[in-house]
Amino acid sequence: MIASEYTEIEQKKVQLISLITQLYDIDIIEDIEALLLNKKKDWWNIISDAEKQAIDKGLEDVQQGRLVTNEQVINEFNERYKDI
């Protein structure tokens, strides 16, 4: 790291400290704390676009009434594999 990069980083840290000391919103303070301590990760931001699309499709299926109950799955499984 060159000296100018170090200085820029130090200036940004001082600016952040100044901004944080002016905060009175506990939610924002807790969000900053969680970010800095890496305590809270929103899984939606971690999963792939394909996974997000699959979840959205599943939610749409639920809204449209396209559901299969656990009991239906078990009955179909038992029927399909009754000879095994």
Reading the chain (84 residues) residue by residue, the pLDDT tens digits are: 788 888 999 999 999 999 999 999 999 998 888 788 876 677 888 788 999 999 999 999 999 999 999 999 999 999 999 888
Q: Among all chains, which residue has been given the structure tokens 């924002």?
A: 28
Question: Structural domain of residue 77, as residue ranges?
Answer: 46-84
* 9 and 34 fall within a common domain: yes
3 and 36 in a single domain? The answer is: yes
**42: region left, alpha or beta (phi > 0 left; psi from -120 to 50 alpha):** beta
Distance from the first to the final alpha carbon of the chain = 66
CA dihedral 34, 38, 40, 45 (to 10 degrees): 120
Residues 76 and 62 in one domain: yes
Residues 53 and 71 in one domain: yes
Residues 34, 52 within the same domain: no
28 & 52 share domain: no
Whole-prediction pTM value? 0.42
Residues 58 and 81 in one domain: yes
What total number of domains does the chain contain? Answer: 2
